[in-house]
Amino acid sequence: MFDKHQRKIKRSARLISVLSKYGFRDLLARMGKKTEEGSVDEIVSAGTVYERIRLVLEELGPTFVKLGQSFSNREDLLPPELIQELQKLQDRVEVVEMNVEEILENEFNILVKDHFSEIVLRPLATASIAQVYKATLISGEEVILKIKKPDVLSIIEDDLLLIKDVVKLISTYSEMGAKLNLKQAIGTFEKSLLEEASLVNERNNIRQFSLNFKHSKETYVPLVYDEYSNNNVLCMEYIDGIKVTDKAELLRHNIDPADISEIGLRLFVSQILDYGFFHADPHAGNILVKKDGRVVFIDFGAVGKIQPNDKEILESLIVAFVAKNPNKIVRYLKKMAVSYEIPDERKFENDVEEVVSFVHSTSLKDIDSNTIINKMKDVLKDNRLYMPDYFYLLFKGIGLIEGVGRTINPDLDVVKSLHPYTRKIFKKRISPKKLLRKGVDKVMNFADNVDEIPKELRSVLQKLDDDKFTISSEIKNIEKTNQLIKSSIINLILGMILGANIIATAIVFVSESGPRIGELSVVAGLGSLFSVFLIIILFLRISRK
């Protein structure tokens, strides 16, 4: 506990020093922190306040750089000038000396020489959380070892505490900060960062991807060696692949770069629409191509997850977009939003219609998805729609994957690639299985609603039957009023029964199940007759009144 307190004091002193260095002494003064004059070099003249914010994040280290990167696509929260600066942030990660053999022996209680024939001690790659080493098992398989850096979790925890303090400070003393819901955004960042820092979580992500694409001939998911994997070490198959943007090397192995661009985009769209579980950072460094032409995604630390209900709305949104239907796009954006405060509904609809018209009236070879995405971000920001976090990961992922694809295939067309999925969505939604499930859900909901008619309504019906229904106000023809209320309620219930019967009949008709007379389903025929009977009864009751 004392050690943790000491760490926080040390990091706080570092934060104060860096903020002071880049000209944020006024902010520190408001916070009640005093800095000694001349203790640090003032470089306030380094640029605008947004440039100085970027410099502060870079100097404070990897966690703060990741924070800036995660906010670099949040145009709904931050001003454009700050977004531009955050997009310049680059990871500057130093290699940490590690005794790999000692770590493996301590983590798995093994003798390395009995399990590994070789470990290359120079890391293949280094990141803020872990370093990657190449090794060879005794059995001959080449693997990579992703090893978490020492004390990285305590560093992240300390940094997150400081970030929360800074957010609290900005929200209290900055007019812009007070208007933003930074607390929720930081909560999302914290959850994402801690998940990325868990190698067990990454191993589970790899397993999920492997399960999702086990029948695919277009992609390959690296194997994980569980016996050498835990929360500090991840051992997986080494992929001897070609970098996806190395066009010359692809051609040398008789692999068509245009085909690879289409496959990569198709796989990413499939991750989103088929499974709602997608790679959150598909840049060129995270995509390889095997010699047989299969595309391999690597580094599964960061993924996006879409709940089933949201996935269905997203499907509908894409169908509406491809079908050039701005009214439906507006409706589905509202459904998907976490919250919205649209100042002018007509303007919102016009803004969406402008984006749709732009996309469908411009040659898609002349625009990229980032142009469309930026226009949509502007629409969301201007009309105060606050979307779920995965929505912004989708924007980022689509922009990255298209950028990779267009590097090797300038004619790549994202919107065209969505057309097969719109047909697939339509086919899925009109399938007997889907209709049956949806119909059963509606019938069950109807049954629940009938069963849960409020006690007050039941009481009214009972009083009507017992001629005990009274109204305190003086109303003429009270008996006729009572009869009208009772009749209306009965008509409403008959209408609900009619609706449920029509849905059930349609399901039976489409499913082609049950006894039949020739081409006619007996059950569907009886259901149709019952519907006609109910319609006649309702017509007579309404016309008589």
pLDDT (0 to 100) of residue 38: 40
Q: For residues 145 and 119, what is the distance between their CA atoms, to the nearest angstrom? A: 9
| Average pLDDT, integer, range 443-459 | 55
Q: In whole angstroms, what separates CA 425 from the centre of its chain? A: 19
Q: For residues 533 and 545, what is the distance between their CA atoms, to the nearest angstrom? A: 19
Q: Looking at the predicted structure, is the pLDDT value of residue 248 above 50? A: yes
Q: In whole angstroms, what separates CA 500 from the centre of its chain? A: 35
Q: Quote the tokens at residue 333.
A: 């954006």
Kindly state the percentage of the chain with pLDDT values over 90.
29
What's the one-letter identity of residue 512?
Answer: E
Q: Quote the tokens at residue 514.
A: 């049950």
| Sole residue written with tokens 């870079």 | 58
Greatest mean pLDDT range, 15-29, 368-382, 529-543: 368-382
Report the chain's mean pLDDT, rounded to a whole number. 80
Q: Looking at the predicted structure, is the pLDDT value of residue 334 above 60? A: yes
Describe the crossing of helices 455-465 and 478-511 by its angle, rounded to 10 degrees.
120
Q: Looking at the predicted structure, is the pLDDT value of residue 490 above 90? A: no
Q: How confident is the model at residue 455 (pLDDT cuts 50, 70, 90)?
A: low
Residue 413 backbone dihedrals phi, psi, to 5 degrees: -125, 105
Q: For residues 458 and 470, what is the distance between their CA atoms, to the nearest angstrom? A: 15
Q: Looking at the predicted structure, is the pLDDT value of residue 283 above 70? A: yes
Tell me how far apart the 2 most distant CA atoms of the chain are, in Å. Answer: 99
Q: Which residue has the higher pLDDT, 358 or 475?
A: 358
Contact assessment for residue 69 and residue 193, using Cβ atoms and an 8 Å cutoff? no
Greatest mean pLDDT range, 98-107, 126-135, 336-345, 361-370: 98-107
Q: For residues 143 and 120, what is the distance between their CA atoms, to the nearest angstrom? A: 11
Q: Which residue has the higher pLDDT, 361 or 110?
A: 110
Distances, alpha carbon 185 to alpha carbons 11, 261, 387, 389, in Å: 22, 33, 12, 9
Per-residue pLDDT tens digits for 24-43: 766 555 555 444 444 444 44
Q: How confident is the model at residue 13 (pLDDT cuts 50, 70, 90)?
A: confident
Q: How confident is the model at residue 244 (pLDDT cuts 50, 70, 90)?
A: very high
Q: For residues 463 and 485, what is the distance between their CA atoms, to the nearest angstrom? A: 12
pLDDT (0 to 100) of residue 43: 47
Per-residue pLDDT tens digits for 511-538: 555 676 666 676 777 777 887 887 887 7
Angular region, 123: left φ>0, alpha ψ -120 to 50, beta rest: beta
Closest CA to 325 of 356, 351, 294, 299: 356
Per-residue pLDDT tens digits for 121-138: 999 988 888 999 999 999
